[in-house]
Structure 1
C-alpha cells in the first residue's frame, strides 16, 4: 500500500469516528488554524519570500489577512450555518416539520495552487473543517519552501489524522487521484482541471474547479482613464501578474489607446519606481519554465511600456503591449504573468462580441461612468464574476460566491458558500403518525374525486399568515367532511 493510500485510509477512519462532526471540535480546529497563522507568521513569510519574492507586508495583505477574516467568520457563524434551515411548506405538509440540514460530505481532497499558496489552499480547508469533513491537503510542489512549511508545521496545530498534508509532485498527486474521495477541490489551470475531473468521474466524486482564463477589461472612452488605469495596473501587476483573476487584456477604442498607455506607465512608475527589479513590492516569476513561457508570448507583439527581463532572476518588468492582434501569441492562452496586451475595438458592442467569441472567463472588468454601459456588458456576457470600476476586490467579499463558469471552472466558495459547497444539504421531512384522514386522497383506489382534492392541495399555494391559516382550516375541514361522507354515507347537507 502506497503512502498516499495509507493517508487516505487513515483520514477516512478518523472521519468515521465522528469527532469532526462535533461543532465544538470544528471551532477548536478553526481556532488552532487561526493561531497557526499568527504564531507562524514569520515562517510563512520567509517561505513565500524564497518562492515568489513577496515581502512580509505583501504576504499578510494578499495571503493571510483574508484567511484570518474567513476563519473568524466561520467561527462566529458556524452554529447558524449548521442549524436546520426551515423551508416553505405546501398544503400537504403544513403540519409537518420540513427543513434542510447541512451534513458533512466525508473526506475532501484539497489541491492547492502555487501563486497564492496559503490563501487558495487554506481557504477551502476553512470551509471543509467548518462543514465537519476530514480533508487531505495537497500543496503545490512548485512552491517548494511553502509546501515544506505546511507539511512540517500544520500538523502541530491541527488534528493530524483528520487533516493530513501530503507533499510531492505529479506522481503523488496522481496516486491521490486514484483514491476515492467525497469531494475534490482543485485550484489551477483548465488543462489539469480536466485531468482532475476525469479521475473524479471514476468514483462519481463531485468536484469544485477554480480555474482561470483570459479575463477581459473594457475601458470606456468616456470614463476617468487615469483612475481606471491605476486600478488596472494594480490588478494586473500584483504578484507579478500571477493572479487567476488579473485583467488579462484591455479592450478600448483606438482614440484612447495612447492615453491608456501613458496612464498605465505613470501608475507602474508610481507603484514600482523607475526600477521595479529593486522594488520590494514587485515579485518574481515562479520559475524559469514559466519565465520562458511568458517570454515566448511577446514575440509577435509591440512593447509600449517595460520589457526588461532577467532570466537568472526570473524577472520580467511590468510590460504593456500595444496594437495587439487577436491572433497574436499572447492572446492564445491565459498569460499569468506581467504582460498587458491592448486590443482596440470600435466600441462596447464590438467588445462584447469579442469577449463572447472566447471561453467564459473567471472575471470580467469594465470601467465606465455610465450605468447603461455596465448593465449591457453584464447582461450580454457571461463570466465567473463581474466587477465594474475596479479589479480583484470582489475576491475579498466573502458574502459573494467566488468561482468560474464553463472553461473557467465550476462550483464556488468563500464564507458560507464554501460551507455549503462542502456539505450535503439534506432535505428532511418529519411527519406525525396521526391525521391519517388527510392522506386518504393518495391511497388506492384512485378516483376523480381524490384527484380533484390532490390538485387543490398540490397546486394551491398560500402565504401562511392569518388568512392563509383560516383558509387552510376550512380546506382541511372540507376534506375531513368529504372523507366522513364517503365512510359513513352522511347526507349531502351535512357538509354543504
Structure 2
C-alpha cells in the first residue's frame, strides 16, 4: 500500500525521533483540534444526537487532557531510563532506550469517535511513530470531520486518516505494520489479532465485555443510584465500560430499582425521547438487536422505542437470571438488567465463570467486601462507589484482560503502548572477571556460588 511505504520511508529518515519535532506536531495538533471544535460538535450530533456538553465532557476534554499530558512529559518519557547493574557486570551501567515502533495502524470505533481515534494517535505521535488512522463508517460525519482536520493539516507520511467500511479495514490489515492498536468488539478483535500474527506485529486490543456492578445495601443509596444511572445511560449505554448488569441481594432488589427509577427521572427527565441530552442508538441494526433482548415480563421501567428516531428509552429489568438472553453478550445500550442473588459466593462464581470483564464496579462501604471482589475477580479496570470514572484518570492504564482486551493506554501507558524499550548494558575496560573464562574449575564454581547464592 502506497501510504504505508511512504510512512515507512519517512520514519526511516529519523525525523520523528527528534523530540523538538514531536513537540511541534503535538502543539500543531492541539491548535488544529481547537480550530475544528465546532465542526466536531456538529458532526457527532448528526451521528448520535450527542450534545455539545456531552461531546466535550466525554470526548474532547479527555483528548485535550491527553495532549497536555503528552506535551508536559514528552522529554522525560523519551529519555533513556537508568536501571541497576548487577555485580557480575560491574564496572558498567545499564539502561532502557525508548524506541518508537515505526508505522502504526490505529483502528477506532464509533461510540466515542473523537476520543477513541485521537487519544491513541496522540500517544503514537508522542512516542515518535507515524500513524494511519482508520475511523468507523458507523459515525460517518465524525469520521469525515476527523479526516478533514488531520489530512489537510499534516503530511500524510506522518499521519493520515483513511475512511471506509469493513472491507477497507480488511485490506488495510493485509499490510505489514510495526504496531496495531484496535478498539472494537471482541469478535473483530480476534480477526485483527489473527492478521497481526501473520507478521508477528504487536497489538493493543481495546475490546469489551459484560461489566458487572455489585451493589450492597450499606451504601448511600440515592447517591449510588444517581451515579449508576449517569454512568449506565451516558451515551445511551453505548460505552464499552458501562455497567452491563447489577448484582444485588434479593431482599435489596426492590428498593434499589425504585431508587434507580427515581434517579432516571431526575437525571434524564420524565421523557428522555424529547431531551437534547439523550443520545440516539447508532443505527437500526443495533436498535433491533437491543429490542430483541427485552423480556416484557421482566421490564419494570422503560422498554419503549421509536424506530424512526433510533430511540430506545432507559430500560430496567428485574429478576434477571444468567440464562436470560440479555445476559448472553455485552448489551451496549440503555438496558439495565438487575440480577438478584441469595449467596454472594455463588454470585462471584457466576462472574468468574464468564469471560473476564473490561470493568468491575463495587458499591459498598465495607472495605472487606470491596477488597474481596477486587482481589477475586479478574477485570481490566474498576471504580468503587461510582461508574466508569477510572477512565478519566490519566495516571491509570485503561485496558482489558483476556477477552476484554490486551494492553492498556492513557498517559505514560499510552506512550509505552507505542514504544519498544531496548535493553542496553555498557561495559568499561577497567576490569574483567576471570571467572568467565576457561578452564572451568570446581574452585571457580564455589566462588560463583558464593557470589550468587
Name the TM tier (shorter chain): over 0.9
Alpha carbons 1:301, 1:324 under 8 Å: kept: no
What is the CA–CA distance in structure 2 between the aligned matches of 1:119 and 1:158, rounded to whole Å? 19
Match of 1:309 in 2: 305
Match of 2:379 in 1: 383
What is the CA–CA distance in structure 2 between the aligned matches of 1:308 and 1:27, rounded to whole Å? 50
Which stretch of structure 1 is more off in the superposition, 44-53 or 88-97? 88-97
Match of 1:368 among 341, 349, 364: 364
Match of 1:470 in 2: none
What is the CA–CA distance in structure 1 between the aligned matches of 2:446 and 2:277, rounded to whole Å? 72
1:451 aligns with 2:445: yes
SS at match of 1:164: strand
What is the CA–CA distance in structure 1 between the aligned matches of 2:208 and 2:316, rounded to whole Å? 21
Match of 2:241 among 242, 245, 248: 245
Match of 1:332 in 2: 328
Match of 1:228 in 2: 224
What is the CA–CA distance in structure 1 between the aligned matches of 2:154 and 2:88, rounded to whole Å? 47
Larger radius of gyration: 1
Match of 2:5 in 1: 9
Which stretch of structure 1 is more off in the superposition, 129-138 or 5-14? 5-14
Cα displacement (A) at 1:393 = 0.6
What is the CA–CA distance in structure 2 between the aligned matches of 1:41 and 1:452, rounded to whole Å? 70
Match of 1:399 in 2: 395
Alpha carbons 1:11, 1:164 under 8 Å: kept: no
Cα displacement (A) at 1:226 = 1.5
What is the CA–CA distance in structure 2 between the aligned matches of 1:317 and 1:251, rounded to whole Å? 22
Match of 1:92 in 2: 88
What is the CA–CA distance in structure 1 between the aligned matches of 2:296 and 2:143, rounded to whole Å? 37
SS at match of 1:364: strand
What is the CA–CA distance in structure 2 between the aligned matches of 1:453 and 1:68, rounded to whole Å? 58
Match of 2:52 in 1: 56
Alpha carbons 1:348, 1:373 under 8 Å: kept: no
1:181 aligns with 2:172: no
Alpha carbons 1:363, 1:384 under 8 Å: kept: yes
Alpha carbons 1:252, 1:347 under 8 Å: kept: no
What is the CA–CA distance in structure 2 between the aligned matches of 1:82 and 1:403, rounded to whole Å? 23
SS at match of 2:162: coil
Cα displacement (A) at 1:290 = 0.4
1:416 aligns with 2:409: no
What is the CA–CA distance in structure 2 between the aligned matches of 1:224 and 1:47, rounded to whole Å? 39
SS at match of 2:425: strand
RMSD over aligned Cα, in angstroms?
1.2
How does the TM-score come out when normalised to structure 2? Answer: 0.98
CA deviations over 1:411-430 (Å, ceiling 9, x no partner): 01110001111100111111
Cα displacement (A) at 1:224 = 2.1
Cα displacement (A) at 1:66 = 0.8
What is the CA–CA distance in structure 1 between the aligned matches of 2:297 and 2:405, rounded to whole Å? 29
What is the CA–CA distance in structure 2 between the aligned matches of 1:323 and 1:176, rounded to whole Å? 45
1:25 aligns with 2:27: no
What is the CA–CA distance in structure 1 between the aligned matches of 2:341 and 2:175, rounded to whole Å? 49
SS at match of 2:161: coil
Alpha carbons 2:109, 2:116 under 8 Å: kept: yes
Cα displacement (A) at 1:347 = 4.1
Q: Give the number of equivalent residue pairs.
A: 453
Superposed counterparts of 1:257-268, under 5 Å: 257-268=253-264
How does the TM-score come out when normalised to structure 1? Answer: 0.90
CA deviations over 1:358-388 (Å, ceiling 9, x no partner): 1100000010010000001111111011221
Match of 1:475 in 2: none
Cα displacement (A) at 1:458 = 3.8
Alpha carbons 2:91, 2:430 under 8 Å: kept: no
Match of 2:155 in 1: 159
Cα displacement (A) at 1:301 = 5.1
What is the CA–CA distance in structure 1 between the aligned matches of 2:162 and 2:340, rounded to whole Å? 47
What is the CA–CA distance in structure 2 between the aligned matches of 1:377 and 1:262, rounded to whole Å? 25
Alpha carbons 1:231, 1:391 under 8 Å: kept: yes
Alpha carbons 1:218, 1:351 under 8 Å: kept: no
Q: Do the aligned partners of residues 451 and 390 (structure 1) sit closer, same or farther apart at CA in structure 2, a change above 3 Å counting?
A: same
Alpha carbons 1:442, 1:454 under 8 Å: kept: no
Alpha carbons 1:212, 1:409 under 8 Å: kept: yes
Cα displacement (A) at 1:121 = 1.1
Alpha carbons 1:398, 1:414 under 8 Å: kept: yes
Cα displacement (A) at 1:454 = 2.6
Alpha carbons 1:304, 1:320 under 8 Å: kept: yes
What is the CA–CA distance in structure 2 between the aligned matches of 1:397 and 1:349, rounded to whole Å? 31
Alpha carbons 2:117, 2:135 under 8 Å: kept: yes
Cα displacement (A) at 1:300 = 6.2
